[in-house]
Structure 1
Amino acid sequence: MNETMIQYFHWYIEEGGILWKQAEKEADYLEELGITSVWFPPAYKAAGGKHSVGYDTYDLFDLGEFDQKDTVATKYGTKEDYLNAIKALKERNIKIIVDIVLNHKGGGDELETFKVVKVDEEDRDKIISDEFDIQSYTKFNFPGRNKKYSDFEWNFTCFSGVDYAEGMDSHIYKIKSEYGDGWEEMIDDEKGNYDYLMFNDIEHRNPHVREELNHWAKWYFDQTDFDGVRLDAVKHISYEFYKEWLTMLRSNTGKNIFAVGEYWAPGRLPLLQKYIAFTEGCMSLFDSSLHHNFHNASVEGNTYDLRRIFDETLTKEDPLHSVTLVDNHDTQPLQDLEAPVETWFKPLAYAMILLRQDGYPCVFYPDLYGAHYVDKDREGNDQEIFLDKVDGIEELLKARKYHAYGEQRDFFEDANCLGWVREGDEEHSGCAVVLSNKDAYEKPMEMGERYIGKVFYDLLGRTENKVTIDENGWGTFPVPAGNVSVWIAE
């Protein structure tokens, strides 16, 4: 069966502890659509408590169980709700992918005093002050949990930098560390060294920290029996750390845990390839280059040459390490990496990730359910956002589940109209896909001898006409202007 992931949240998901319960109720629906794995948001207590999306991690061991940050439940619900949702999905053979945030911690419990230097925010290797003392919230003793599951206490030696100093301006302060004078080694020289991202930056060279994070990973697995991990902000974390951490996780669990990293570098394929090489292929990456192409194609309209859509993408160059997506919580409107794919193009983009043989597709929650929210734009003005459910998304998912199998033949000769066929296999009948970013087209394509005389119809209902495969195994498949049609045999 084809693997299909869903990112089961977005940045503005409703508060009130309902997401875990909703996932439990939706398990049958997701199975019916052919979803084989669910990527859940960070499930542990964050500095922002019940209002937080979860990326300002506070206590990794609190899955909505302890009264901390003014709440027991997280934004998504209680630990009991979370485990119930996991159980319901696993009973339907849907895998669980958990969101792992090990770059930073926020919401420390106590102030500590320690030595720092200021660094240039645009070149973090450049020191712009003498050494001096600051106070910052780097002591984490988790009083609400009272040492259950772990008695490890985090202090300033567990961090390499902070952006908060009591009584001073917000800035990046490099902590004087016994584990190295500079930042940890990165694969790129963006901002001099992009180890530091936000809050209290975890010092992965500290052996006590690594031991605790290995212990926590095994504990988390024992609690939830997860099948995969989505690794946040890997651009800002030592590549050596994740090689070790994933090796330990797979060894300690006896399970070949799937891993996908978020290394966001739109249009910079060589960086993604370099990261995969440096981490020795221990994880896949989201194909930010393909997303970049989808965004550009949707904005440029019929001037975009669709034959270039897979150029300079991980999906084309290293499909086994590519997780494909159309949008995510960082690219959605009003977020930091805002670059949404235009509504008209989304059915085309989903056809390209769901119905082709390369890459592991990930569906974004609002594209299946829709979304509505209000937030401030960069100028500080309120903006009301409506994200529509993608037209035909359920049919596209079912086409992947039942028809997108077997040999793939591409018909990419036209700049404004792409087509391909999947021949099918012993268990599945195939499909023919045609998409256009300009006019209505009719594309001749070869389905193969097994389909001679078979009648095909458009699963998406874009075209009422039917196509009969001729004596040579060919058919001429129409598509409306600026749209996609998926043809399957009656």
Structure 2
Amino acid sequence: MVPDSDTTSGLIKAKEGGMGVLLQAFYWDCPREDKVECAWWEFVESRIKELGKAGFTALWLPPASKGANIGGMSMGYDVYDYFDLGKYDQKGSVKTWFGSENELRSLIKAAHGQKMKVYADLILNHNNGADAEEFNPITGRNWWTKFTPKSNRFTRDWTCFNPSPYQELGTVTFGDMPDLCHINPRVSTGILNHAKWLIEEVGFDGFRYDFVKGFGAWIVRAIHDRHYERRGKTVDIFGIGECWAGDEFIDSWLDGVNKWSDHRVGAFDFPLRYRLKELCDTYGFSLKRLADGGVLMKDRPFEAVTFVDNHDFRGCGSGMDEIVNDKILAYAYILTHEGYPCVYWKDWFNYGLAQTGKPGGIERLVKIHESHAGGATNILYMNDLLYLMERTGAGSQPGLVFGLNNAGGTLRQWVQTGFCEKTLHPLAWYGTGVTEPQAITTGPGGWCELEVPSRGYVVYGE
């Protein structure tokens, strides 16, 4: 059985196996909502030991560079000075909304002490908050494109933004913020130097790339093809692209980034996320759809970063709403299936879905992901209301059996698993009026009867 949260017997520790579990360590306006303005880095660091104990293997932090702060402190998606992480008195403050550079470095060091990687959120498409207007002879207009940050690093003028003397095709603007021209050597060099500085000097281990639809995939590939060292040791960096699109567009972007590269980059599985929202929030959703392709987890599992919600889903309508009902069902799915799962800070802390030490929360599922969820996925049985699958196991991870029920009552089904003459214990469960499921013993051919609680799930394993 899965132990209580303060023990590790019966489970392989998260750091010893598995693909890992990522935590998005922020949400929109988090410094204000949690009443820790200019102290978010310290706030996260105060929870590092808890997160390490829970089994998280990496953190994704919000943009660390100083933003334009137009109209007040910003979330950093309006980058002004790439090399100011809360060190220079500009744009209304020394600190960013998240804190100082020293506090950020302290957080990264603490995370590394818990064997967690730390990923920076990189904004490479656009900038904001220029210090002066300039005349662009191509457009014949003045525009705010003169950047003279106090770090005195990666200064920019009108030639650094589209349209510029360096013709760049296929770029997309983000609002009215000037759009960086990456093929200008001054820009590409500035970006590459910034990435190198973040890895080798600040201590980050990789990047989440914002709005990758807005610029050429080659700049991401260039970042990952470089060699990085920290304290005399090679650093193999990780990368995730925010390619908010359908599966075909994401496929094309991944091909553009990873073709001819030994350093593969992943992408967030937006098609799967929308499917999981339907599972949770749409009455009558057919569980057969969970077996369909058209999602990265199915088509490109080694490049899929699966998630349930993030900072951009915040009740804005037009497909931007959070998942509302039984969100734990979506987490049960991504934490038992293939892909690199990402848990959202707000779900873990603010919405109380961690449920530490209990069988029906994210914490238990994170532990199961690291201890059991290895190997191929075999669907054992499926209809509109019931979905049963197994992970076959790999290495130190023995595999598992997972059942999901979308009906209003308990469902039972005989299936043939790959676990022959084994006793499988309930590792996690959730559902309406559910009590602890009984252990099951499989027959010589792996046959057993699985019982799944109403509008819930169960995970079995050795």
Any gaps of 5 or more consecutive residues in structure 1? 118-131, 161-174, 187-192, 372-386
Taking a change above 3 Å as real, the CA distance of residues 302 and 389 of structure 1, as seen in their structure-2 partners, is farther
CA contact (8 A) 1:302 1:438 kept: no
Equivalent position of 1:60 in the other structure: 82
What amino acid is the match of 1:39? W
How many aligned residue pairs are there?
425
Secondary structure, aligned partner of 1:297: helix
- Assess, with a 3 A threshold, how the Cα gap between structure 1 residues 79 and 208 changes in structure 2: closer, same or farther: same
The SS at the match of 2:148 is: coil
Match for residue 29 of structure 1? Answer: 50
1:352 aligns with 2:322: no
Equivalent residue for 2:413? 443
Distance 1:407 1:246 in 2: 28
Contact in 2 for aligned 1:467/1:475 (Cα 8 Å): no
2:383 aligned partner = 414
Distance 1:404 1:468, change over 3 A: same
Determine the structure 2 residue equivalent to 1:480. Answer: 453
Alignment counterpart, residue 158 of structure 1, candidates 160, 163, 173: 160
Q: In 2, distance between residues paired with 1:138 and 1:307?
A: 48
Q: 2:258 aligns with which of 276, 280, 283?
A: 280
**What amino acid sits opposite 2:347 in the alignment?**
D
Q: How has the CA–CA distance of structure 1 residues 337 and 42 changed in structure 2, closer, same or farther, with 3 Å as cutoff?
A: farther
Of residues 51-60 and 326-335 in structure 1, the stretch that sits farther from structure 2 once superposed is 326-335
Q: Distance in 2 between matches of 1:451 and 1:198?
A: 64
- 1:485 positional shift: 1.6
- The residue type equivalent to 1:179 in the other structure is Y
Q: 1:424 to 1:138 in 2, by over 3 A?
A: same
Alignment of 1:49-88 (within 5 A): 51-88=73-110
Q: Closer, same or farther in 2 for the Cα pair 1:270/1:474, shift >3 Å? A: same
Q: TM-score if structure 1 supplies the norm length?
A: 0.80
1:75 and 1:336 mapped to 2: Cα distance?
28
Inter-CA distance 179–407: structure 2 relative to 1 (3 Å threshold):
closer
Cα distance in 1, alignment partners of residues 173 and 302 from structure 2: 27
Paired position in structure 1 for 2:372: 403
In structure 1, the partner of 2:204 is 226
Unaligned runs of 5+ in 2: 1-16
Distance 1:46 1:35 in 2: 29
Q: Does 1:471 align with 2:443?
A: yes
Which structure exhibits the higher relative contact order, with contacts defined as CA atoms closer than 8 Å and separated by 6 or more residues? 2
Task: Map Cα deviations across residues 67-103 of structure 1 (whole Å, 9 max, x no partner).
Answer: 1111111111111111111001101110011111111
State the distance in 2 between where 1:103 and 1:92 align: 33
Please name the residue that 2:147 is paired with: 140
Superposed CA RMSD in Å reads: 2.6
- Greater percentage in strand: 1
The residue that corresponds to 2:8 in the other structure is none
Residue 110 of structure 1 deviates from its aligned partner by 1.8
Q: Residue 258 in 1 paired to residue 238 in 2?
A: yes
Cα deviation, residue 261, structure 1: 0.6
List per-residue Cα deviations over 1:10-52 (Å, max 9, x = no partner): 1131231232112222122111221111000101110117721
2:66 corresponds to which residue? Answer: 45
Which one-letter code corresponds to 2:93 in the other structure? T
Query: Cα 1:309–1:455, aligned 2, differ >3 Å: closer, same or farther?
Result: closer
What is the distance in 2 between the residues matched to 1:418 and 1:60? 47
Query: Percent of counterpart pairs with the same letter?
Result: 28
Separation (CA, whole Å) in 1 of partners of 2:301 and 2:285:
27
